[in-house]
Structure 1
Amino acid sequence: MLFSFLKKTPSAAANPFSRQDEKTFQQSTLRVLLILTLSIFVGIEIDYVLSALQSPEYHNALFINTAFLTLLCGFLFFSKSHTKFIAGLYILSLVAIGASLLLFSTSVHAEKYAIVALYSVPLVTRLLFSIKAAVFAIAINFIPLYFIATGTIKLENLAAPNLYFKLLTFAIVNIGFPIGVSRMLKMLEANTTQMKLLYRKLNENYALHEEFFENTSTPTLLCDKRGKIIKANQMALDFLSCSSASEIKNTKVIDWLKPSSESGKFSWQENVAECSLKHKKNTQIQLHRATLKQGRYVLHFQNMTHLRAMQQKLESTQETNSRLVNFDTLTRLANHPYFCNQVNQFIETQDKHLTGTMFIIHISQFKLFNKQYGKDNANKVIINFAKILKEKLSDQAIIGRLRGVKFACFVPLGNTYLIEKNLSALISSTLPSQLKIDGNLLNMNYQVGIAYYQTDGKNAEELLERCEMALEYSTIANRFSYYSHPLETKLIKEHKLGIKLSSAIKRKEIDLWLQPQVSPNGTICSFEALARWKLDDGSYVPPDVFIKIAEELGLLPVLAENLIRQLVSTLSKWHKEHIHTPIAFNLAGQELMNDGFFALLMTLVIDHPWLKDMLELEITETSPVMTHALIHKRLRALSEYGFSIAIDDFGTGQASLGQLIDIPANILKIDRRFVSPLPEDLRHLDIVKSTIQLANSLDMKVIAEGIETKEQASLLISLGCHTLQGYYYGKPSPMTDWTANQNQKAKELRMVY
């Protein structure tokens, strides 16, 4: 019980540097002294009880001791609530007990206890009160010292010590101990003051560190070397969705975070770590570790979710930009520069014995698809074609879209396919013959220009240039054209010729010639207008050559406009002179696709109503655009305005029988290739007969061209041909021959017998 009681005795304040520390120290010291004194007097009480049983002289001392023992118990009881008051009473009681025992007791031991009680008063006073009170108590104790030293109070029961011993005892106990203890307490107070200052600074630093930890700009954790969380700031609690600090304290980092790296290492094992929240897997975190002493780490969270999203968006943007820069947006094939780059890189990585081919594919009639089915559907044609091309070519093939409807392919080849026949078959097998767009099955036609790697070029740029040259000479009939040096020479020559032609058309140097068309009786009933181009050296360029060049360069509408205006001017003069001889004008189809030229024809017939009887329009059936719906629509409009429309070169072009239905023609011209073998070739004779019968059944006029002999003329007249044309009746001559001398030759309208 005593030990239990002593444990309850306060020995220090909860906060040793608080304002209550002095009071607590006084209370603790008082209670210790009271307990010590009480213990001593309990021993004395036992001794007196035993002594009183043997001698009556101890009765008074026993009474006094019992009374003081009772008083001490009361002091101890009230010491906690009335510390200072009880301390004063305790000191006074020591003085009273000492004086009483010294003056009135006759006990053997009472005098010794009296001296101890009196001489201990200064020390107790210093422990419980200030130094001044202790000095006052020391001064008071000089009184009993004086009486003892002078013999006024005789200590009969004590051995008679000398004066020096008495003074030494007094000095040590009454003066030395209080002053020594006072000095110790002063040092303790100084230390306490210093400790208070240090404690205050420590509290300030702790508060500063606490504020810094709590107010960092990032969620922060403090953990040990095993990842056990010691502390978290409020941002970390909010970030981890914790309602309080107790929820996260003593948990581990792995309870909240999941490492992103395959190594499985966590933030306390690496200075920088990628993680994600376990309860929010889409939240990406980057942890930065700072190492502290004593095996602790500070972990800073950085939410990388938005940054990762921005990075992904940036990567996606970069990928999109790369596609825009390097790839065709419609087909996702490599564009021209990137295609060349890929081919050149491939060539550089291969050995010097690599063989291969480059070829350019041009989709024919694509403009017709565009006008007939619209841009969107035409784009579907391109997309589907590119998809099929990628599927059918080998993985080693490099494919690109150059521009428009031109596609380039580079394919490594074995020796077998270096033979043109085999290579043509290989390329042909990759090209779809038909494509289905919105339920419409389209027939696909291609032109292909081909060049061999190493033989025709050493890099992509050279090979593409050679392929373009070869492509210039591909036709509907001969789709595959291979590059050759003579071909290049020819192309260069045609290129130069094209430049001259463009200049000649601008200067209106292309002339009109007329070739007579006669009736069966030999009378000139009409003419065919033919274009002729005379060079500066006096030579003529064949019409099929410069017309083809003009068509390729897109110059036909301008050329036709120049010629039609020249022709109308002549017809206007003839109309005034009452020369009613129609002139047929050839159109290749490209002119009618041109809105400006079509508008010109409509304007001319409106301004000159008689023109519809004097101007016949011959449509060259071999032109690929003749199957286009827009051509048919415009021809029907011209027919409604009264123009006579003739199908030229019938039987040699696009779907001949179909044209008789789609084109509102009233004249059918039999091509010279069917007339030339007559009359010997019976097969051609049957074809001509059937053609004339077909025209008659459709109520169409028939013109036969290319007649060079009397036999051919007589045969065709007998077969029912309405009009005849050829060298037999007259060669083409400049139109000026017919308009000279006020149209004298035209007025004569000579007859041939």
Structure 2
Amino acid sequence: MTNSTLAELAFYECEVGTILLDASQNVILWNRWIEKATGIESTQATGKPLPEIFSEQQLSPRLLRSIDKAIDLGHSALLSQKLHKHPFPFYKNALDMENEERMLQMVYIKPLDIENGARHCLIQIFDVTETANREAALKELAREAQASAEQLRTREEELRSIFESTSDCVLTLDSSGQIQQFNTHCCRFFKFRSNKFSKKNINELLVELRKNRTEEESMSDLHSWSRRHEPVELTAIDSEGVPTQVDVSVSSLGTSDYVLVIRDITERKKAEAMLEQLAQYDSLTGLANRALLQDRLNHAINRSHRKIEKLAILFLDLDRFKVINDSLGHSIGDQLLQAVAKRLSYCVRKTDTVARLGGDEFVIILENIGTEVSANAIAEKITSSLKEPFNIGRHELYITGSIGIAIYPDSGVDADTLIRNADTAMYKVKDEGRNGFITYISDMNQKAQYLLELDADLRYALKKQQFSLYFQPLLDLEQKRIAGAEALIRWKHPIKGFISPADFIPVAEDSGIIWDLGDWVLGEACRFAKSMQRQLDGFTVAVNISPHQFKNPTLLDTVLKHVADHKIEPYNLELELTEGLLMEQTEDTIRLLNNFSDRGFKISIDDFGTGYSSLAYLRKFSLDTLKIDQSFVADLPDDLDAMSISNAIIQLAHSLRLKVIAEGVETPEQLAFLKGKGCEYLQGYHIAKPMPAEEFYAWLKDFSAEGFIQSS
């Protein structure tokens, strides 16, 4: 085989689409890649301009301009996949063609100065559909293509350069398997000098051919592989005896000779192994993840069914892990989870499965347990193991666990039911004081089941963004304007409809979800405050802060971050606290309130009058506003006790230089009474109901505070 024939073959078989145009932009030739992409053989396209083959509407304008510049001005061009995704009307398959989803391409256009003075144009099309994110590799490939293209002087040199610059090993064999021609990458990959490599037989390079006893068997294998339409996955051996996984594409030359393209797939295999690891194992602890747990549990159930055996599911939730995570940071929390995972693995047999569902939840599968007593023994072993301190960095940490047990087939016959019932039993342990274990029974407390379902729904709702914020306007009687709004969370369950905050907030507080939920509320409230800055100067959004949130040491930093992220002022945010929190009057409470106040945040006491606050308590805190509970406002102005209490709260607030908000105002008479007693702000259905942000904007455009006050 001559060098010219070899170069033409390499050009034709190259896995990069290649088109060569003459000075008139007519196709000189293109390779098999283009034939497959277009369904047009090279001989049919020869002598025709590209716009005639594809039509100008199918080719990108930038592509046509780049070809013009290459031939007329000698300019090279690289049309990257980021800016020019589809220069050619190429499709990976019939379905993509039907959906008009073109192959993602990178196109390299290079002028070629021929010796007679004519200028040709070389176009190389790279399919980057599957490797669009490997930008560095594509740049390197483009650089190599550019370097190769610049060396082209004659047609033989052009094609030979492409043959040499490929990152794959390309070689030809004679009828005995002896290597005839090869590119330089073969020597690099197999670690042979050129003169040594040229004397090798393919049997010496591929493990799968070494087993053959005769030359005929080896050539038979090659012939079989050449009839495949996809590469064969084999193992190559270099000069040092090191094996490497490769893809081998074999093409017959129509005689007894063959062309082999060998591609190193080591990195691809590593990526596949990593993806499998990520798909089945928890990245933090190395334990089985939820998907692998489900698969193993289904198999375990099938085995137990066939052998008429019992298996147990242990559902473990760490007690008060969130406190450690929030106070010491996620790094310490993650290290603690890793240490817990190791102890759990030590407590069970190698044949058992320990999985992490996420957060601080773990599930253990115990097969062939015999009786419930065996499962209890393992649970006892786990709880005892957790009692020993965990030395994490400089911290000596103590933690306990609550374990729910479900037995197959007594507690369920499918994976979902077993896990759910074990989870139910675990919450029963939580309700009874934590740090223990209990086996699921069908008549467990219905309330616990309801709370369990509500807790699960809450977590799901937070992930699926089922919550929304409504805003109830705050009317300033003195300034006769809308001064702000209170942010009120709403949850519309896809099946149960709207669920009252009075039902789900206590569950969120008990489960620890309140911190994530409160963080979301703060972010949305700040976003709304920012949007209102453009409409009303000094607009304030009031947010209810749960006592559980307030006791979190990161609350101040969290609030400051939301304010900074949304570019609002501290006075645009008002934090509403409960009387019960004030009654604790701890130094931490006083210090944190002072820190918020010093930074310009407004502080109000919600539902004032329903607790047992005293004047002495109120004087210790940096407050701005008292809110009269709606239970007093509801009976105004007819009930003497309600009138006396409301008036007393207003007078008390004014004596402490605090403003007063009356909530739950629903009638003109209530408005008139409160206005007459000097109440500064009103909130309630008489003014407006709570509403989503978009509805609030529309309502505000049509609302006249001065006219409303006068008409009331």
TM range (shorter): 0.3 to 0.5
| TM-score (norm: length of structure 2) | 0.39
Q: Which has the larger radius of gyration?
A: 1
More strand by share: 2
More helix by share: 1
| TM-score (norm: length of structure 1) | 0.37
